[in-house]
């Protein structure tokens, strides 16, 4: 791979002002109609603008990510990542802060394999528009952001979670090569941010499962258990965007028709992989979008759509063992499944919690605290089996 030399490096970062216009992408200049539609699609989200407590932080993230992506544009990948690519750390020094890019060449190759243009990635995450915030129902202390076009999701992570993600990264890339239509969230970057001489903050970037957002009506985070798995729904007519949980889904089903068998098999493949990594506490994100009349029926069925593959990914596996499917002709097709009446957005997220001593002790405590009830902290084998059983019980 044509990339900077491996190992920790520190360089002075270019600024967006020194290059092309940061908001420019291959999609062209936004017109008035586009902006009106964009504003409508942002209902329930909050712009992190001047005066917001996180504005300064997100401005640093935007400037840092613009410069970090410029490195991968200047040194594009020429082949699959090497061992050195997975261990590279590049630190770019900006005025008042430093941004680190971890395993940058490996992630650049992964983005390329997904057909994601670096210019679009840079424009969405750079200083072309404010990041968006939503009310999170997560119990973690992480901060969550969306890029201004809602295509990319950013989340702060603990150092130990970042270590786990990077340790698993080569096997994660290999799994996506073997199963290019996997439900695993597409991780696109891991970074650190240090302000002045303060403590490093870490954050990840991934493709948003809930994209495009236009007509999504319900969102869920499913773990297959009951303790702490209820969210008080927003009042009717409220613009708040809430992600509901397992207990909110009681009495509902996912009607996939002939797609159900594909989903059940892919859940088995993906959770078996996570079990091998000794990972637990991940979630199946789901969202619903009712199909319009002209989007239903045989004429628009997946059986009659063009099969699309993930560009740039070659695998020695037989196509049958890859569990490929016909993808819809839609942005974010890897996370979309169409049933007879509804479109479903599905993806497995939060892949960084390892079943170590801390989680084993938590399991013992919860066993005593919640006798006879199901909770999230169980062995990876039990966690994977239970989530697959949940999907099987709630699909038809």
**pLDDT (tens digit per residue) in 317-369:** 565 679 999 999 889 999 999 999 999 999 999 999 999 999 999 999 999 99
pLDDT of residue 6: 55
Contacts of 251 (CB under 8 A, 6+ apart): none
What would the mean pLDDT of 203-215 be, rounded to a whole number? 94
Average pLDDT of the chain, as a whole number? 87
CA 84 to chain CA centroid, Å, is: 25
Tokens of 371: 């006798």
pLDDT at 293: 85
User: Is the alpha carbon torsion for 25, 187, 210, 303 positive or negative?
Assistant: positive
Q: Confidence class of residue 53 from pLDDT cuts 50, 70 and 90? A: very high
Task: Give residue 77's Cα distance to chain centre.
Answer: 22
Q: Residue 195 has what pLDDT?
A: 95
The answer to whether 285 and 347 are in contact (CB under 8 A) is yes
The angle at the Cα of 72, spanning 69 to 77, to the nearest 5 degrees, equals 150
Residue 298, pLDDT score:
52
Full strand arrangement of the beta sheet holding 152-157: 8-12, 89-94, 97-102, 187-195, 201-207, 152-157, 144-146, 132-133, 46-47
pTM of this prediction?
0.87
* C-alpha–C-alpha distance, residues 381 and 385, integer Å: 6
Mean pLDDT of 55-59: 95
Give the C-alpha separation, 381 to 376, whole Å. 12
Quick: pLDDT tens for 278-313. Answer: 999 999 999 999 998 888 865 444 433 444 444 444
């Amino acid at each position: 791979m044509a990339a900077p030399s491996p190992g920790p490096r520190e360089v002075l970062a270019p600024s967006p002002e020194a290059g092309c216009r940061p908001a420019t992408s291959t999609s062209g200049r936004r017109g008035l109609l586009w902006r009106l539609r964009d504003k409508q699609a942002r209902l329930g989200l909050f712009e992190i603008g001047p005066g917001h407590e996180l504005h300064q932080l997100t401005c640093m993230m935007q400037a840092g990510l613009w410069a970090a992506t410029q490195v991968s544009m200047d040194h594009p990948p020429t082949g699959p990542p090497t061992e050195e690519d997975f261990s590279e750390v590049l630190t770019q020094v900006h005025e008042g802060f430093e941004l680190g890019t971890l395993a940058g060449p490996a992630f650049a190759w992964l983005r390329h394999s997904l057909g994601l243009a670096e210019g679009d990635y840079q424009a969405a995450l750079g200083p072309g528009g404010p990041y968006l915030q939503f009310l999170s129902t997560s119990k973690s202390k992480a901060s969550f952001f969306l890029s201004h076009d809602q295509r990319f999701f950013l989340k702060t992570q603990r150092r130990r979670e970042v270590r786990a993600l990077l340790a698993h990264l080569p096997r994660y890339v290999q799994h996506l090569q073997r199963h290019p239509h996997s439900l695993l969230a597409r991780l696109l970057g891991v970074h650190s941010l240090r302000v002045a001489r303060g403590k490093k903050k870490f954050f990840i970037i991934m493709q948003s499962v809930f994209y495009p957002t236009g007509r999504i009506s319900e969102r869920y985070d499913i773990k297959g258990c009951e303790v702490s798995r209820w969210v008080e729904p927003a009042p009717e007519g409220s613009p708040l965007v809430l992600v509901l949980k397992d207990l909110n889904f009681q009495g509902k089903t996912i009607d996939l028709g002939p797609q159900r068998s594909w989903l059940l098999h892919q859940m088995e493949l993906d959770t078996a992989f996570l079990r091998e990594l000794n990972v637990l506490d991940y979630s199946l994100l789901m969202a619903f979008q009712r199909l319009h009349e002209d989007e239903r029926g045989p004429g628009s069925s997946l059986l009659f759509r063009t099969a699309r593959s993930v560009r740039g990914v070659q695998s020695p596996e037989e196509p049958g063992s890859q569990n490929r499917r016909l993808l819809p002709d839609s942005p974010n097709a890897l996370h979309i499944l169409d049933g007879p009446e509804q479109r479903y957005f599905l993806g497995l997220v939060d892949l960084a919690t390892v079943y170590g001593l801390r989680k084993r002790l938590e399991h013992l405590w919860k066993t005593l605290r919640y006798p006879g009830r199901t909770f999230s902290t169980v062995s990876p084998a039990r966690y994977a089996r239970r989530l697959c059983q949940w999907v099987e019980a709630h699909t038809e």
